[in-house]
């Protein structure tokens, strides 16, 4: 622990985080309660080479009938998506789960924070199951509660926390959503980030935007008329976020140093290269991409926006899409009359989302058939209450 700047009577402390637990998780062992990812998956999985996996999944799902409701995120593998009752983005799926109160089991083929949101929005009688507890989100893991509380202490000591509204992206842990709810903030999605920020700036003069710096910056600058100088980047691994008291006092948008490991891979070179290779190509990217990529693209939008744009595009048109590869491949197969390609030359799956595979799904379903609930995701009552406050505030936004 170290004492950081002492400026005008304001002091702060900072603790260097340990990487041990994260390293164990990457090795498939151990757990880290300070992250949203979870622990290793117990049980004996079927072999990936088992030729009966599809039949086994279908049989288990049929035996469970209406007792089970399977959700599949757009970034999931095709082998898993085929068994989903509903596909969509994270918030759509959580709401779909809440709309099925008669389903005893919600099997969420996505990542940990998504299953947490489903648990928050569903009834206590329903059980939310994540087929692989190690399916997490690197972006969500970049903002853990202890770090955010330290940052809030810094803002409090500077005398600006009272005029700062925390806004968290849906891609965050239940702990972070709970923190935001306790401190008068709101959750947002990539579709309604501007509406959420408009509301936040009616409550205060500053926003602490968690955990994706790119969505926050792109929304503030490209949709709200902010300048890049209005934004500062808070790095939780540096004393006071690597910022001076003056920078924190003057900033309108305090961006958390987090990003999506998939969307962050796309570069301006990727855009320039595809334009050279494919004359007339339309570049369509997700707002989690870097600012220079978003400004160079033809269109920017959420996962659902990307899907609808491709569906509505004329036959013969060419599209370079900057989002997760499973979705881009699925769009290309669904629209053979259009030229649809991945924006970058490098393969770019979401590695943690990809952990949900057919063996894990079969195992989870067959365990339910046997009367054993595995990998249940639960959010404690206090955290769930305050997270629900922040989610309800999002649902109350104009146009929501």
Q: Is 139 annotated as a binding residue?
A: no
Half-sphere exposure of 162 (CA within 13 A, CB side): 3
Q: Specify the residue for token string 């989100």.
A: 137
Distance of CA 165 to the CA centre of its chain: 20
Q: Is 79 annotated as a binding residue?
A: no
Helix (H) or strand (E) holding 249: helix 245-250
Half-sphere exposure of 363 (CA within 13 A, CB side): 21
What's the token pair of residue 202? 């009616």
For residue 354, the 8-state DSSP code is G
Q: Is 172 annotated as a binding residue?
A: no
Q: Is 73 annotated as a binding residue?
A: yes
Helix (H) or strand (E) holding 310: helix 303-312
Q: Is 288 annotated as a binding residue?
A: yes
Distance of CA 176 to the CA centre of its chain: 12
Q: Is 286 annotated as a binding residue?
A: yes
Q: 3-state DSSP helix/strand/coil percent for the chain, to nearest 5? A: 45, 15, 40
Give the whole-angstrom CA distance, residue 120 versus residue 94: 9
Q: Please give the C-alpha separations between residue 95 and each of 72, 98, 114, 164, in angstroms, as whole numbers.
A: 13, 5, 11, 29
Question: Helices 358-369 and 53-64 sit at what angle, rounded to 10 degrees?
Answer: 40
Distance of CA 299 to the CA centre of its chain: 21
DSSP string, 27-38: TT--B-TTSSS-
Q: Is 260 annotated as a binding residue?
A: yes
Alpha helices in 99-192 (DSSP H): 112-121, 138-141, 145-158, 174-182
Q: Is 349 annotated as a binding residue?
A: no
Give the whole-angstrom CA distance, residue 177 versus residue 388: 8
Query: How many beta carbons lie within 10 A of that of residue 372, not counting itself?
Result: 10
* Maximal CA-CA distance, the chain: 69
Judge whether 206 and 161 are in contact, CB under 8 Å: no
Q: Is 360 annotated as a binding residue?
A: no
What's the token pair of residue 240? 């006071």
Instruction: List residues bridging with 128 in a β-sheet.
Output: 106, 377
Q: Is 190 annotated as a binding residue?
A: yes
The reply to whether omega before 211 is within 30° of 0 (cis) is: yes
At 201 the three-state DSSP class reads: helix
Q: Is 188 annotated as a binding residue?
A: no
Binding residues: 73, 90, 137, 169-171, 190, 260, 286-288, 303, 350
Binding residues for [4Fe-4S] cluster: 137, 260, 350
Binding residues for iminosuccinate: 73, 90, 169-171, 190, 286-288, 303
């Amino acid at each position: 622990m170290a004492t950081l700047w002492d400026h005008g009577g304001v002091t702060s402390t900072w603790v260097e985080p340990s990487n041990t637990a994260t390293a164990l998780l990457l090795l498939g062992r151990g757990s880290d309660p300070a992250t949203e990812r979870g622990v290793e998956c117990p049980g004996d999985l079927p072999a990936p080479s088992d030729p009966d996996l599809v039949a086994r999944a279908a049989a288990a799902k049929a035996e469970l009938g209406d007792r089970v409701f399977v959700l599949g995120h757009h970034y999931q593998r095709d082998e898993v998506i085929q068994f989903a009752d509903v596909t969509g983005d994270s918030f759509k799926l959580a709401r779909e789960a809440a709309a099925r109160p008669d389903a005893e089991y919600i099997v969420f083929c996505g990542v940990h924070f998504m299953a947490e949101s489903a648990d928050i929005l569903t009834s206590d009688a329903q059980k939310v199951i994540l087929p692989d507890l190690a399916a997490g989100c690197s972006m969500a893991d970049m903002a853990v509660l202890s770090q955010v509380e330290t940052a809030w202490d810094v803002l409090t000591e500077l005398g600006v926390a009272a005029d700062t509204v925390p806004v968290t992206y849906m891609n965050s842990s239940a702990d972070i959503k709970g923190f935001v709810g306790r401190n008068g903030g709101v959750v947002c999605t990539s579709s309604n980030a501007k509406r959420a920020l408009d509301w936040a700036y009616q409550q205060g003069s500053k926003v602490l935007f968690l955990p994706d710096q790119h969505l926050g910056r792109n929304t503030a600058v490209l949709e709200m008329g902010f300048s890049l100088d209005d934004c500062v980047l808070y790095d939780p691994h540096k004393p006071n976020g690597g910022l001076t008291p003056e920078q924190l006092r003057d900033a309108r948008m305090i961006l958390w140093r987090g990003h999506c490991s998939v969307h962050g891979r796309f570069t301006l070179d990727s855009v320039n290269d595809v334009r050279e290779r494919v004359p007339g190509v339309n570049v369509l990217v997700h707002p989690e991409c870097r600012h220079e990529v978003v400004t160079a693209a033809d269109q920017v939008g959420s996962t659902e926006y990307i899907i609808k744009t491709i569906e509505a595009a004329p036959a013969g048109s060419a599209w370079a899409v900057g989002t997760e590869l499973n979705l881009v491949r699925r769009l290309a197969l669904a629209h053979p009359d259009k030229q649809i390609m991945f924006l970058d030359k490098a393969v770019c799956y979401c590695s943690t989302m990809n952990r949900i595979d057919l063996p894990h799904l079969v195992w989870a379903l067959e365990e339910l058939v046997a009367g054993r609930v595995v990998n249940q995701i639960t959010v404690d009552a206090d955290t769930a209450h305050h997270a629900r406050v922040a989610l309800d505030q999002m649902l109350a936004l104009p146009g929501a």
